[in-house]
Amino acid sequence: MAGALKEVRNRIKSVQSTQQITKAMKMVSAAKLRRAQDAIIQMRPYARKLQEMLSNIVSNIEGDSSGALATERPVEKVLLVVISSDRGLCGAYNANVIKLARTVARERYAAQTAKGNVTVWPIGKKAFDVFQRENLSVNPAYKDALQHISFEQVQQIAQDAIASFSKKEFDVVEIVYSEFKNAATQAFTVERFLPIPKAENKGGKATKADFIFEPGREVLVAELMPKILNTQLYKAVLDANASEHGARMTAMDKASENANELLKSLRISYNRARQAAITTELTEIVSGAAALQG
């Protein structure tokens, strides 16, 4: 009986220690989430407007004036830029991002995957750890990019992707990431990076508008395209960063609640065992006294 009581006490102490860790991680993630949320909320309208403007411009340029970055060509080689996190303990966040990337590779680009023509650039160690064990070409150069998120670092990744597309090393570039909605909700999405998609109206046709270009059309497009693409990837990284902290905060909150429930159950078990031990001792004392009197 004494051994059972000691075992329950040890389990209670263990759960309490774990609960302290989950509460601390929740508080840290909440603080980081506020900064990450402010960053993406400020960035999102600017990035979306730039992307819309670029798509409209590309849609209304005829011939080769739109540049190589907007040119559709037969898809033989595919690049997936997968944005995950560096650390775990954030619920199903990383699993969902990786699952979506796998689905894109196996369903949307099944023929290219079968030929070994799908390459993954993981941004974040979790995606790198998973995809390096699979039948996909993986570039490890950007797996540590989330340690210190900066526009300059993300810009370099975007420029490398643009250069690879321009050299026809890849025919299409997709970004797989989690779009931040709120602390408890993330929308896992695939976004076309290259070639630049054209804006479409409700009928699915490219929109037409009369633009006046100043300076010249080619100069303006050549200058705008890389800058807007840099912003697009940076927005995706900020979205993923906010989603990670939101998912971790939610997961740690649920873990703390589960620890409370487990502690209640353990305390009930401890009290029952303790009461049984006291009852046994009293019974033994009464039995001994009765034996002496007899």
Count CB-CB contacts under 10 A for residue 96: 16
Instruction: Tell me how far the alpha carbon of residue 275 is from its chain's centroid.
Output: 49
Residue type, 18: T
Catalytic residue list contains 34: no
C-beta separation of 176 from 119 below 8 A:
no
> How many helices (H) and strands (E) are present in the chain, helices listed first?
6, 5
Question: Which one is catalytic: 90, 100, 105, 130?
Answer: 90
Q: Is beta strand 185-194 parallel, antiparallel or unpaired with respect to 172-182?
A: antiparallel
CA-based radius of gyration for the chain: 29
Q: Please tell me the number of Cα atoms within 13 Å of 193 on its side-chain side.
A: 35
Measured CA to CA, the distance from residue 137 to residue 145 in angstroms comes to: 19
Instruction: Tell me how far the alpha carbon of residue 151 is from its chain's centroid.
Output: 18
Known catalytic residues are 90
